């Protein structure tokens, strides 16, 4: 089975981060019970000094190159991934997409309905690349901006409603789509280092939500345990 991580800055991470992708790799190693592969056209993390995704300095040097693959970008959202996902899914022969997108869209590029329209385009393009692909979509986790910007907070809420509708509308037996939940007990003043990007505890919570959905819906892996999947 081939997994592809798709996301924005919360997924690519910056130099010195473990990333939730690393936590998910650890979890799959411990629980998958068979051969699997992580695929994607990129492997870097974001270098804040170069202002570009050019770093290979993960917090864990033992994170192997083959497990660092992803399709994520600092400042990239649903609209940026639409033209990329089909070719990436096809080239990587991806079976399952684990997608965390939307915050950057709502913050800088598109409103909730426009972002939801891009979700639908993304699904269409992913299936064009891999007709039987499965997807797990994570709702947007409001960041610190939502505490002081009521219109932005309302857009996040509205988008998450539209995301749930899109997942229900577009899911098929051949290519199912599952919607995750906000990671359990996720708290931006505890689980991020800047009000947006996950620290170690936030990485575990995001990976844990994806792991829970995979296990409960499709019997993939096992319940997530941070003490084991550290």
pTM: 0.97
pLDDT tens digits for 103-121?
A: 999 999 999 999 999 999 9
pLDDT tens digits for 70-109?
A: 999 999 999 999 999 999 999 999 999 999 999 999 999 9
**Helix 112-129 vs helix 150-170: crossing angle, to nearest 10:** 30
What band does 226 get if pLDDT is binned at 50, 70 and 90? confident
Please say if the pLDDT value at position 228 is more than 80: no
What band does 184 get if pLDDT is binned at 50, 70 and 90? confident
Compute the average pLDDT of residues 203-208: 97
Q: For residue 75, with 0-12 CB atoms within 10 Å meaning exposed, 13-18 middle and 19 or more buried, which class applies?
A: middle
pLDDT above 90 as % of the chain: 96
Please say if the pLDDT value at position 230 is more than 70: no
d(CA 57, CA 14): 8
d(CA 94, CA 2): 5
Architecture of the domain defined by 2-218: 3-Layer(aba) Sandwich (3.40)
């Amino acid at each position: 089975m081939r997994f592809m991580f798709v996301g924005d800055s919360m997924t690519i991470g910056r130099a010195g981060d473990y990333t939730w992708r690393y936590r998910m790799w650890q979890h799959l190693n411990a629980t998958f019970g068979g051969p699997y592969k992580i695929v994607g056209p990129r492997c870097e993390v974001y270098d804040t000094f170069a202002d570009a995704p050019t770093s290979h300095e993960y917090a864990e040097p033992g994170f192997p190159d083959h497990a660092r693959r992803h399709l994520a970008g600092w400042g990239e959202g649903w609209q940026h991934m639409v033209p990329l996902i089909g070719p990436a899914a096809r080239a990587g022969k991806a079976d399952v997409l684990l997608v965390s997108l939307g915050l950057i869209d709502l913050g800088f590029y598109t409103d909730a309905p426009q972002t939801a329209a891009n979700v639908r385009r993304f699904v269409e393009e992913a299936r064009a690349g891999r007709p039987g692909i499965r997807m797990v979509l994570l709702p947007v986790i409001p960041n610190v901006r939502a505490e002081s910007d009521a219109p932005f907070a309302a857009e996040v809420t509205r988008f998450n409603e539209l995301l749930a509708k899109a997942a229900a509308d577009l899911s098929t037996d051949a290519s199912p789509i599952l919607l995750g939940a906000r990671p359990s007990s996720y708290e931006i003043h505890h689980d991020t280092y800047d009000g947006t990007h996950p620290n170690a505890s936030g990485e575990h919570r995001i990976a844990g939500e994806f792991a829970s959905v995979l296990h409960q819906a499709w019997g993939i892996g096992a319940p997530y345990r941070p003490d084991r999947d550290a």
